Amino acid sequence: MLVPIHEEMTREALETRFSPRALEIIIAANKKQDALKGQIGHDEFHFDNNALDQSFRYITEQRGQVIATLLGPGILGAWIAFGRLLHTAQDFYSHTNYISLWLDQFNGTHPPAVEIDPVQKSMIDSPDLHSGKLYLPFDVLYFVPFLRKVSLALLPRDSHAHMNLDSPKQGSRFEYARAAAVKRTQHELGILQKLLTPQMFARFTDL
């Protein structure tokens, strides 16, 4: 997803759950994953290039980092790891075909986006789940607005350019990706709430 959308969704999902200071650090860490350094050679940050297992593992590792930090006296590392985790979890919906698989089960009559289940196990475990492949150099041309049409014409259907739901420009499925990502953000906080002691969770949310 585009950087401002990551920020907007994270704010919407967590605004009432964290102190403003914690929320700003979480958002900054989330957005940082899309800096150039986080784009090259880091498919696992964004569910790119079919790095599904690596991306799921990355989420688990960052969750472990949140817990490990909170076991010590520090707190910053927990917020930063949570921001990184959320970036990947949010990109799951814009870079894989999860939304298409979810919609396909309804045979044409799509429920509204608010109904989306962000963690339907049968979809997450589906052998049909895949993400957009980066075909260089055409996938780079896609990011140059006036070359977008040409690059789309040259790229196969399983390319990042064809599959991504990064912004509202990608059509009606974007709304589902966004709704799923907001719910997933809250779901990830729920997982941590279950794993942490009430004292640790209170420190984490800093309220």
List of residues contacting Zn ion (CB under 5 A) = 34, 46, 91
Which residue number, 89 or 123, has a Cβ lying nearer to Zn ion? 89
**Rounded to the nearest whole angstrom, what is the least distance from the CB of residue 33 to Zn ion in the complex?**
6
Which residue number, 45 or 138, has a Cβ lying nearer to Zn ion? 45
**Rounded to the nearest whole angstrom, what is the least distance from the CB of residue 188 to Zn ion in the complex?**
16
Residue nearest to Zn ion (CB): 46
Which residue number, 8 or 34, has a Cβ lying nearer to Zn ion? 34
Which residue number, 12 or 34, has a Cβ lying nearer to Zn ion? 34
Which residue number, 24 or 34, has a Cβ lying nearer to Zn ion? 34
**Rounded to the nearest whole angstrom, what is the least distance from the CB of residue 4 to Zn ion in the complex?**
13
**Rounded to the nearest whole angstrom, what is the least distance from the CB of residue 12 to Zn ion in the complex?**
18
**Rounded to the nearest whole angstrom, what is the least distance from the CB of residue 5 to Zn ion in the complex?**
10
Q: Give residue 74's region: left, alpha or beta (phi > 0; psi -120 to 50).
A: beta
Residue 204: closest CA among 66, 99, 94: 66
Q: Are 22 and 206 in contact (CB under 8 A)?
A: yes
